[in-house]
Amino acid sequence: MRIYTHPACLRHDTGYGHPESPARLRAVLEALDDPRFANIERVEAPRVDRGQLLRVHEAAYVESIFAKEGLSLHLDPDTVMSPGSLEAALRAAGAACAAVDAVTGGEIARAFCAVRPPGHHANRDTAMGFCLFNGVAAAAAHAMERHGLERVAIIDFDVHHGNGTQGIFWNDPRVLYLSSHQMPLYPGTGASNERGAGNIVNAPLPPGAGSREFRDAWEEILLPALVAHRPQLLLVSAGFDAHRADPLAQLQLDAGDYAWITQRLCALADAHAQGRVVSTLEGGYDLAALRECTAAHVAAMMD
Active site residues: 121
3-state DSSP call for residue 20?
A: coil
Amino acid at 186: Y
End-to-end alpha-carbon separation of the chain, Å?
Answer: 10
Distance between CA atoms of residues 227 and 216, nearest Å: 16
Q: Any residues with CB less than 8 A from the CB of 228 and at least 6 apart, and which?
A: none
3-state DSSP call for residue 98?
A: helix
DSSP string, 213-234: HHHHHIIIIIHHHHHHH--SEE
Q: Are strands 110-113 and 2-5 parallel, antiparallel or unpaired?
A: parallel
Angle among Cα 216, 244, 248 to the nearest 5 degrees reads 110
Q: What is the DSSP secondary structure assignment for residue 70, as one 8-state letter?
A: T
- Are the C-beta atoms of residues 158 and 129 closer than 8 Å to each other? no
Strands (E), the chain: 2-5, 41-44, 73-74, 80-81, 110-113, 152-156, 175-182, 200-205, 233-238, 277-281
- Are the C-beta atoms of residues 177 and 140 closer than 8 Å to each other? no
